Structure 1
Amino acid sequence: MGTTQSSSRSAGRDSGPHNTSHTSNQSVESTSSRGSSSHNSIHSSAQHLPPHAEEEVSTDDEYNYYHGRRYHKTSSLYMLPNDSEEVDRLHTQHYIFKAALEKNIHVTIPPNGRVMEFGCGPATWTMDMATEMSTINFVGVDISPVYPTAIFPRNCNFYNEDFLKGVSQPDSTFDVVFQRNVTCGLTFENWQQVMKEAFRILKPGGFYECVESDITIQNAGPQTNVVFEHLRLSMATRNVDPSIVRSLDRLMVATGFTDVHVKEYCVPVGDWGGKVGQLWQQNMFAILETVRPHLAKAAGCSETTVQEVVQAMYKETKDYRSHQVVYAVYGRKPVSPAQ
């Protein structure tokens, strides 16, 4: 299917910053230096273009509508919509992740165990897991009720809840808490809240797992650097720092989790990476198309300009053999407080 590469490391209670290897560290530095020069070029090419159009926002009792897309009303941080088009993308994205990582989860679920998914969305992961593991009980929660309400595996239950505010589950009742791809909607303080909530509902000895993508593209071309630099700027206006994915192990340790491990996957972006690379690129560009208004606002240029720069990325990902790092971070709630 593709050429995904992986590496692993562990986090101790006094763990500090980690680099998987000297080569990986050099790649990050190289990307950063190229990005600074190309960042200037987009402004010089866009300075004579019309300014970004005023935001087209409408609303009803339940949702906000922005540039023809539907968003949930109760959060201004999460940048992506919750309409049927986004549900379709999320369904596809689940199977892309499954193919790239070659698994749905890294921790072991005990027989007849209970699993909670924070931010389940349309519940593709939850239902896929429930179908594969019929003796396990799965629970999904999401602020947007886009999960199935009529037909789903009998060992699934879904609740319309905001896991940032706490879930309606008793203490110490789950064997595993899982979440994936929520970085673009969480501040540092949110991450602390979420990890504390996961710790609360986990049984002693239970596992917490996060799977998140680093938005810094490795071996990126100049236009790719431009696009993702403005994505970072847009997220920063919401007090969201996507680089936190590199520190999730330390946050877990600070929360009280033990036996914390990090598995890093280098996923190819583009045709050069085979089927996985093609699918990963398609999903990435679908996301960039969705957030195009936000990118234009951050860059101070028109959406047309953003679209042209994004289109230039297609060739770059092949020429530069770009890839993206996905982090799977997991740890265990101590069996006893003294552990």
Structure 2
Amino acid sequence: MKRFGEALNRSSDETSPIEHAAREFHGYYGSQYALPADDAERQRLLIQHNCLKRIFENRILLVPVALGPDDRVLEIGTGPGLWLLNLAQSVDPAVQMLGVDITPDSFHPLPRTILPADWADTFTLVHQRLLMIALRIHEWPQALREIYRVLRPGGWIQLRECQPYYEGEFPNKPCMEKLVSMYRCLVKSRNLYIDCAADIPGMLKEAGFVDIQVEERPQYMGKWAGEDGAANAANHLAFFRGMKTPILEAGGYGKIATESEYDALVEGLEKEWEEIAGIKREFYIFWARKPESQ
């Protein structure tokens, strides 16, 4: 696993933009994924998975399909496989399931957007979640066309993405505003499609899908929103901590110069969320069908 920042680590008596232990990041197939791939990130993904289950009334599958022994399920960007393992508890054990990701320690390592040629017309259901900071703008249409290809006629796709943060949206939260500004600079430098949620229905239609549907739910951040709000805040705070190394390696985008400045912003963000109610992000689940006849 590639370790970013190792060349910049120095002894404690030297000035360095990165003084923390470098976290592990995806370094395979030219990945531009902006978050780490280590134990801390896996813990964050567990929190995230549980948060998303709760805001959708513990439903992990909105697609109107009854999976049986002859069906196959594919999850793209499976990470530690939390969604796939959760689904396996609620369907016929004979349902065949496969998870793919871009790292060799995932269920089945693959490049970002190209699936094997012999998978055509194979799967009844394909699930993909939160690749807004993994796929570049030009890769999203290609990825959806590949999903269409590997689905059986009549098969379903389910996508889950989040409303991104926007600059200028938080005038009374200076820590939030500065972190969002750096986050937007980072994803722009990597051409990542963090605004994909608004365009997913159109991209699904262009790829050939029909019966396109969406449900959305708000995610509130902070203890003021109760237990779920505290869990959502923990997830998103860990998200910003995970971006520390690549932001510092990029020089802080003129916003910060040291690790201690970045850490102070995250600490300040936590206080802003606790003291000023109202932060929320919309989360979306899209689903659509491949036509029976093509």
Report the TM-score, using the length of structure 1 for normalisation.
0.73
Q: List runs of 5+ in structure 1 lacking aligned partners.
A: 1-54, 59-65, 148-157
d(CA) in 2 for partners of 1:70, 1:189: 26
2:273 pairs with 1:317: yes
- Cα deviation, residue 67, structure 1: 4.6
- Cα deviation, residue 163, structure 1: 4.3
2:204 pairs with 1:252: yes
Query: Secondary structure of the residue that 2:33 maps to in structure 1?
Result: coil
Amino acid at match of 2:212: V
Q: Which residue of 2 aligns with 1:222?
A: 174
2:75 pairs with 1:120: no
Change (3 A) 1:173 1:325: same
Change (3 A) 1:202 1:253: same
Change (3 A) 1:109 1:298: farther
d(CA) in 1 for partners of 2:218, 2:52: 12
d(CA) in 2 for partners of 1:146, 1:273: 36
Note if contact 2:31-2:112 (Cα within 8 Å) is conserved in structure 1: no
d(CA) in 1 for partners of 2:105, 2:162: 23
2:279 pairs with 1:330: no
Note if contact 1:219-1:321 (Cα within 8 Å) is conserved in structure 2: no
Change (3 A) 1:168 1:139: farther
Q: Which residue of 2 aligns with 1:243?
A: 195
2:48 pairs with 1:79: no
Note if contact 2:224-2:277 (Cα within 8 Å) is conserved in structure 1: no
Amino acid at match of 1:93: Q
d(CA) in 1 for partners of 2:118, 2:165: 36
Find 1:295's aligned residue among 247, 253, 261: 247
d(CA) in 2 for partners of 1:130, 1:165: 25
Deviations 1:87-143 (A, max 9, x none): 222223211211122211210233312211001111111111112213432111112
Q: Which residue of 1 aligns with 2:223?
A: 271
- Cα deviation, residue 73, structure 1: 1.9
- Aligned pairs for 1:1-339 (under 5 A) are 56-57=5-6, 67-74=21-28, 75-102=30-57, 103-112=59-68, 113-135=71-93, 136-147=95-106, 158-167=107-116, 169-216=118-165, 220=170, 221-296=173-248, 297-300=251-254, 301=256, 302-318=258-274, 319-337=276-294
Change (3 A) 1:167 1:90: farther
More strand as a share of residues: 1
d(CA) in 2 for partners of 1:307, 1:180: 28
Change (3 A) 1:169 1:85: farther
Q: List runs of 5+ in structure 2 lacking aligned partners.
A: 8-19
Amino acid at match of 1:88: Q
d(CA) in 2 for partners of 1:285, 1:167: 37
d(CA) in 2 for partners of 1:272, 1:210: 29
Note if contact 2:67-2:91 (Cα within 8 Å) is conserved in structure 1: no
Query: Secondary structure of the residue that 2:79 maps to in structure 1?
Result: coil
d(CA) in 2 for partners of 1:236, 1:69: 21
- Cα deviation, residue 298, structure 1: 4.0
**Which structure carries more relative contact order (alpha carbon 8 Å, separation 6+)?**
1
Note if contact 1:295-1:306 (Cα within 8 Å) is conserved in structure 2: no
d(CA) in 2 for partners of 1:184, 1:293: 15
Deviations 1:62-87 (A, max 9, x none): xxxx9521223223410112222222
Change (3 A) 1:169 1:87: farther
Report the TM-score, using the length of structure 2 for normalisation.
0.83
Query: Secondary structure of the residue that 2:140 maps to in structure 1?
Result: helix
Note if contact 1:96-1:279 (Cα within 8 Å) is conserved in structure 2: yes
Range 316-325 or range 172-181, more displaced: 316-325
d(CA) in 2 for partners of 1:172, 1:95: 32
Change (3 A) 1:322 1:176: same
Query: Secondary structure of the residue that 2:164 maps to in structure 1?
Result: strand
- Cα deviation, residue 146, structure 1: 3.5
Change (3 A) 1:107 1:274: same
d(CA) in 1 for partners of 2:215, 2:174: 28
Note if contact 1:267-1:326 (Cα within 8 Å) is conserved in structure 2: yes
